[in-house]
Amino acid sequence: MVYRRFTKCSLALAALLTITSNLDAQTNRFFVTDSSYMTKLGSEYRPEVDMDWDRPSAAFYPVSYKIADKLQNRATVRREKNDAWFRPSGWLEMGYAWNSAKPASGRNTPLGFVDQHQELQLNQLYLVLEGGTAKDDNESWSLDARVDLMFGTDHGFTTASGLEVRRDGSQRWNSTPDPSADEDYRGTPGNPRPYYGLAMPQIYLDVHTPWLQGMDLRMGHFYTNVGYESVMPLENFFYTHTMSMMYGQPFTHTGMMASTKLFDAMDISFGFTRGWDNWEDDAEGDISIAGGIGFNLEDSAFSVNFHSGDDFIGLDNDGNTLIGNVTIITLNYTRNVTDNLTHALTADVGYGDGMQLHTSSASVSGARWYGITNYLTYEVGEKLSTGLRVEWFRDQDNSRVMPGAFSDHVSGGNYVNVSLGLNYRHNDRWTFRPEARWDWSDTKSEDLSVPGVFGDFQENDTFTLSMDAIFTY
């Protein structure tokens, strides 16, 4: 297994060298890796509904940069004039993590992205292809296009139903590993997913119009407007991600979004999508709505973003599509306390129909989840910054984090993590992000002999040391 992963990393590096030589410059699903966990349910607790629910994520603005740099005014066109239509760029991210729980499976579940214990991960070999006829004013029409391609271990966290994977979770783009012969996979033996793979998290057109004070229309497949942290590593201060991002927010949408500037300090956006991490129309043909409002002041910024609508939430035992309303609202507040100190606060409230399973009655009901995260970053010098992140995530009905989390048999639902990290920007190309993280949760199940969610579901807390290196091109 180690040899296979090393080989894939080597091939990816070779691909990067080939690319840079020519350059100038979800449906995410989490499964218990130990199949004995599910067998402990026995026939008495066999559910009528498959709890193979989608697991989402998000992208917003980084806390590692000044507010003036990171709070992009979506309504005001700030594009550089460029005569070339085709402009390739990207990055390579590799990382390593050590987990104090020392899971025998080698998985740091429920942590995502940095989900391997004592394994060198090629997280992302990321290629961005973009170009356009951009103008630097709000009085002209312009057109921009962008395609993102990602290869690496992070691919499985950005896949969309109907694009990289099918509705039943089977692979469309990447080969499906054989659990009996290949340990290089994620998921369960019943639904394995490749460890390395290819994803296309974004493909869209941006049309800038002179309407109002300048209106932007985005059409295609793109990262969500909900949340704070991003799939793209340089937009985050920390290598690891919050539980709120991993389990409480979408990763991508497919649809159309419009944004404009109403006043000097106020932006609004609104659009229609096909739901959470979904490329194709669901069986009901329902459309979701998304939008937000933001206020940008001299030293602070505030925004509220949302996504809501009937969405694909799973399959029953007969393979029939289950549809239910899924709604998420995110509040973001950022302030430059001093020239070097930045504080950010983000809060999430989510609700989903049919995500809470009651095995005693074989019925489902709505589920709720909440999250609050504080960030403090301090710029020590031109190349070095330090940061602190404190998060509380509440999986109220144990429907988001625990795979097959049957409400009758799981208690708790609180998750806390504290992270300390450094950002060292060696030069314009290289960035290094070491991080120390402590996680705790009261989630457990005596019926299933699960005392905690960490360390292969045997520990209620864990300590993680990790670091990644990012090379941009």
Q: For 408-460, what is each residue's pLDDT tens digit?
A: 788 899 999 999 999 999 988 999 999 999 999 999 888 778 889 999 888 99
Least confident of 2-11, 29-38, 217-226: 29-38
> What is the pLDDT at residue 79?
42
pLDDT digits (tens, 9 = 90+) for 257-268: 999 888 778 889
Spacing of C-alpha 176 from chain mean position: 22
CA 169 to centroid of chain Cα atoms: 18
Please report the pLDDT score of residue 435 as a whole number: 97
As a whole number, the mean pLDDT across the chain is 78
Please choose, from the candidates 60, 464, 451, the residue with its C-alpha nearest in 3D space to the C-alpha of residue 240.
Answer: 464
Task: Report how far residue 51's alpha carbon sits from residue 409's, in angstroms, rounded to the nearest whole number.
Answer: 14
pLDDT at 318: 60
pLDDT at 465: 97
Residue 250 near residue 224, CB atoms below 8 Å:
yes
pLDDT in tens, 147-185: 999 999 999 889 888 898 887 778 888 888 877 777 777
Query: What's the average model confidence in pLDDT over 229-249?
Result: 94
- Report the pLDDT value the prediction gives residue 361, as an integer from 0 to 100: 59
Interval 333-364: pLDDT, tens: 999 999 899 999 999 999 988 777 666 656 67
pTM of the predicted protein model = 0.81
Which range is least confidently modeled, 83-92, 292-301, 369-378? 83-92
Which helix (H) or strand (E) segment holds residue 3: the answer is: helix 2-20
CB 66 within 8 A of CB 336: yes
Tell me: the pLDDT tens digits for 277-328? Answer: 888 765 555 789 999 999 988 888 999 999 998 876 665 556 666 677 889 9
Of the two residues 220 and 31, the one the predictor is more confident about is 220
Backbone angles phi, psi at 69, to 5 degrees: -90, -35
Q: Is the model more confident about 331 or about 182?
A: 331
User: Is the pLDDT assigned to residue 40 strictly greater than 50?
Assistant: no
Residue 212: pLDDT over 50: yes
- Taking the C-alpha atoms of residue 101 and residue 463, their distance in angstroms, rounded to an integer, is 7
Q: What would the mean pLDDT of 370-397 be, rounded to a whole number?
A: 95
Q: Which residues contact 271 (CB under 8 A, 6 or more apart)?
A: 218, 255, 256, 257, 258, 289, 290, 291
Higher pLDDT, 27 or 342: 342
Question: Largest alpha-carbon pair distance within the chain?
Answer: 67
Range with the poorest average pLDDT among 82-91, 126-135, 173-182, 463-472: 82-91
Q: Mean per-residue pLDDT for 93-104?
A: 94
State phi, psi for 67 to the nearest 5 degrees. -55, -40
Instruction: Give the per-residue pLDDT at 142.
Output: 83
Per cent of the chain over pLDDT 90 is 43
Inter-residue contact 227 to 371 (CB < 8 Å): no
Mean pLDDT value of segment 29-58: 32
| CA neighbor of 291 nearest in space, from 371, 226, 211, 348 | 226
For domain 2-472, the CATH superfamily is Porin (2.40.160.10)
The whole-angstrom separation of Cα 199 and Cα 163 is 9
Collapsed DSSP state (helix, strand, coil) of residue 21: coil
Q: DSSP secondary structure string, 229-293?
A: --SSGGG-SSSS--HHHHHHS-SEEEEEEEEEEEETTEEEEEEEES-TTB-S--TT---EEEEEE
What tokens does 380 get?
């020590």
Cis peptide before 110 (omega within 30 of 0): yes
CA distance 177 to 372: 37
